[in-house]
Structure 1
Amino acid sequence: MTSSPQPVALVVGASRGLGRQIAIDLARANYTVVVAAKSTSNADKTVPFPPNPNSSQSTISTVVREIKEAGGQAFAIQVDVRDVAQVDHMVKETVRLAGRLDVLVYNSGAIWWSSIANTPTKRFQLMQRVNPEGLYATVQAALPVFERNGWKGRIVVVSPPIYSRFFRGKTAYAMGKVAMSVLTRGLAMDFVREGHKDMAITSLWPATSTESAATEMTFKNDPRSKADLRKATVFSDAVMGILNTPAETVNGVLALDEDFLRKYCGVSDFAKYSVVPGSNPRRIMPKELPVLEVAEQDDEGMRMDSTKIRSKL
């Protein structure tokens, strides 16, 4: 085991797009970064280098090379998040290689946007396995590490605020992504209830369309649509902002990148993030979102704990 004097971040789903940018910017902020995903390659033979960050040429291998050539420290771990054993190995290998774990970012995701009638069950199952189940397995594997750290750490999940319009036209996808946000809210409540004041989990979602592998496919036949895109740095800057904001402030928050940067990081000019200079990308998320708390928020009644009930059987 190599003990890193730097904080260590594990970015799951870091081969391209948002995940790659988050990994690059964490390294620039003096984190040792462990990049994890399914795709690997021989980075030494990748030409031109660096590759298009939203293409299949960008892999965890090329991301590690990018970070190292810029003077940072990084490791690559191949993982299929649908396999719990591989997820457990990923977290253990992170600690073995880097000596610790301070930040976990879950960016892995499977996408299929269509009506329920046009979403086959196999496609639905794939999204659930990669999105909420992959996140759940990763969090389960990481929590014992954070416990050994004295419950000090951060988790950032790429999932949306919860509101009804998000379900329209992509219900099967929304079911999984909203479940990830439910995990964020629920785990945040656990942290508070158990007195883990230095732990926080936050969900983050783009307020506008952002450069990624998904938007690369969507807009490749319509260059004019790029005027509605922001660079991935807007999202990674928001991630860094979350990590630099007190845990109690961001724990359980379902944030939008633009709104978080405005409110907590003092950003008012977003021109530098526009893919097309001078453009004003269309906001795709609501300006106001529903409040999820209810008046009886703190009234749990008689709380059931299945682990305690089962132990008595």
Structure 2
Amino acid sequence: MSLDGKVAIVTGSGRGLGLAYALELARQGAAVVVNDVDAAAAAEAVATIEAHGGRAVAVVAPVGPTATAQALVTAAVDRFGRLDVLVTNAGVLRDAVLWKMSDDEFDTVIDVHLRGTFTTVRAAVRHMRQAGEGGRVICIGSPTGQRGTFGQTNYAAAKAGIVGMVRTWALELERAGITVNAVVPVAATAMTATVPYFAAAVRAEARGEPVPAFFRHDLGFGTADDVAGLVAFLASAAAGAVTGQVIGVGGDRIQIWTHPETAVTAHHKGGWSYDAIVAAWPTTFAGALQPVGERFPDLPEPFRPVS
């Protein structure tokens, strides 16, 4: 097993994608610290891992506060003697368009996703650096953080911020032998279940049927288990040279996202005045403008929602 003897923390792992990550890490030999705010879900996750011969312990606490981050690290070290892998997956949604989003809706999502990633990674790498044996940090991003999604100001800001932190941490932790990467999953979860475009795929997964090939291949949309293999790979020695990357995964597809690069560069002697920009914009810059939001192909007839 590729992670035999290793110890991993997975936040938000009582169900859904987080549970799939925890189960796969345990299958690969890692002992797992399960985390969730739902005590029953966390206990069931631990029981499932143990029933398959793995080792696990639960920490029931909301991600965000520094105290939770330290409790997770303490649980890993006290129960299993070390910490090698951290997967920051915990998250919530509070969707609303900008002009209707409340302070609380914004702050709640930022606190769990962005602050929670920061505090948990900080606590984990403090221990990893002191232990001197390297480590693996895997932060869960989202297509929304890469391209934006209508009605998700808070979520988009948090997920984009996570990617920015990942790139920074990859630089800061390289000398310590700690890799840091972001995974962008696309899968049937509670968060995608309400999106009509994915309804046919979500229904198939819920019934235990194969997700249709259109979703798996063309859209890279599958099940939580389809994402877990990449997380386990990034946690392993096989990914020792992979750091600072944003990797999308879902269904039958893996994608490596580019880092932001300039689309066009132009110079104007003496600087760019208003008049100079107006004159040059149509021919020099307009063709390089970037799209926003996800652009999906039309659904094939069998998968179109009934109006």
TM over 0.5: yes
* Displacement after TM superposition at 1:242 (Å): 1.8
User: Using the alignment, how far apart are the partners of 2:165 and 2:101 within structure 1?
Assistant: 24
User: Using the alignment, how far apart are the partners of 1:290 and 1:253 within structure 2?
Assistant: 8
Are residue 205 (structure 1) and residue 204 (structure 2) matched? no
User: Using the alignment, how far apart are the partners of 1:131 and 1:149 within structure 2?
Assistant: 27
User: Using the alignment, how far apart are the partners of 1:91 and 1:142 within structure 2?
Assistant: 6
TM-score (norm 2): 0.72
* Displacement after TM superposition at 1:217 (Å): 4.7
User: Using the alignment, how far apart are the partners of 2:224 and 2:68 within structure 1?
Assistant: 28
Q: CA contact under 8 A between 1:161 and 1:255: conserved in structure 2?
A: no
User: CA distance change for structure 1 residues 31 and 252 in 2, over 3 Å: closer, same or farther?
Assistant: same
Partner of 1:75: 57
Q: CA contact under 8 A between 1:10 and 1:94: conserved in structure 2?
A: yes
Partner of 1:215: 192
Partner of 1:127: 109
User: CA distance change for structure 1 residues 243 and 293 in 2, over 3 Å: closer, same or farther?
Assistant: farther
Larger relative helix fraction: 2
User: CA distance change for structure 1 residues 23 and 169 in 2, over 3 Å: closer, same or farther?
Assistant: same
SS of corresponding position for 1:214: coil
Partner of 1:247: 240
User: CA distance change for structure 1 residues 77 and 224 in 2, over 3 Å: closer, same or farther?
Assistant: closer
**Which aligned runs of 4 or more in structure 1 are off by greater than 6 angstroms?**
161-164
* Displacement after TM superposition at 1:62 (Å): 0.3
TM-score (norm 1): 0.70
Partner of 1:152: 134
Q: Which runs of 5+ in 2 are unaligned?
A: 204-211, 216-220, 263-307
What do residues 125-167 of structure 1 show as CA deviations (whole Å, max 9, x unaligned)? 0001001101111111112210122151000000147976325
* Displacement after TM superposition at 1:84 (Å): 1.8
Partner of 2:15: 16
- State the AA in 1 paired with 2:7: V
SS of corresponding position for 2:247: strand
User: CA distance change for structure 1 residues 26 and 164 in 2, over 3 Å: closer, same or farther?
Assistant: closer
Q: How does 1:10-49 map to 2 (within 5 A)?
A: 10-41=9-40
User: Using the alignment, how far apart are the partners of 1:289 and 1:33 within structure 2?
Assistant: 29
What do residues 183-237 of structure 1 show as CA deviations (whole Å, max 9, x unaligned)? 1011011123xx22x210100012x4x1222234556x95565444511111101
Q: CA contact under 8 A between 2:64 and 2:111: conserved in structure 1?
A: yes
Partner of 1:236: 228
* Displacement after TM superposition at 1:174 (Å): 0.5
SS of corresponding position for 2:46: helix
- State the AA in 1 paired with 2:189: S
User: Using the alignment, how far apart are the partners of 2:45 and 2:229 within structure 1?
Assistant: 18
Q: CA contact under 8 A between 1:163 and 1:290: conserved in structure 2?
A: no
* Displacement after TM superposition at 1:175 (Å): 0.6
* Displacement after TM superposition at 1:88 (Å): 1.4
User: CA distance change for structure 1 residues 158 and 168 in 2, over 3 Å: closer, same or farther?
Assistant: same
SS of corresponding position for 2:148: helix
User: CA distance change for structure 1 residues 173 and 71 in 2, over 3 Å: closer, same or farther?
Assistant: same
User: Using the alignment, how far apart are the partners of 2:81 and 2:120 within structure 1?
Assistant: 18
User: Using the alignment, how far apart are the partners of 2:59 and 2:164 within structure 1?
Assistant: 27
What do residues 273-309 of structure 1 show as CA deviations (whole Å, max 9, x unaligned)? xxxxxxxxxx9x9x78553267xxxxxxxxxxxxxxx
Q: CA contact under 8 A between 1:204 and 1:255: conserved in structure 2?
A: yes
Q: In the comparison of the two structures, how many residue pairs are matched?
A: 244
User: Using the alignment, how far apart are the partners of 1:224 and 1:94 within structure 2?
Assistant: 36
Q: CA contact under 8 A between 1:155 and 1:202: conserved in structure 2?
A: yes
User: CA distance change for structure 1 residues 161 and 181 in 2, over 3 Å: closer, same or farther?
Assistant: farther
Q: Which runs of 5+ in 1 are unaligned?
A: 42-58, 259-268, 271-282, 295-313
Q: CA contact under 8 A between 1:14 and 1:107: conserved in structure 2?
A: yes
Identity of aligned residues (%): 26
Q: CA contact under 8 A between 1:132 and 1:177: conserved in structure 2?
A: yes
Alpha-carbon RMSD across the aligned residues, in angstroms, is 2.8
User: Using the alignment, how far apart are the partners of 2:184 and 2:116 within structure 1?
Assistant: 18
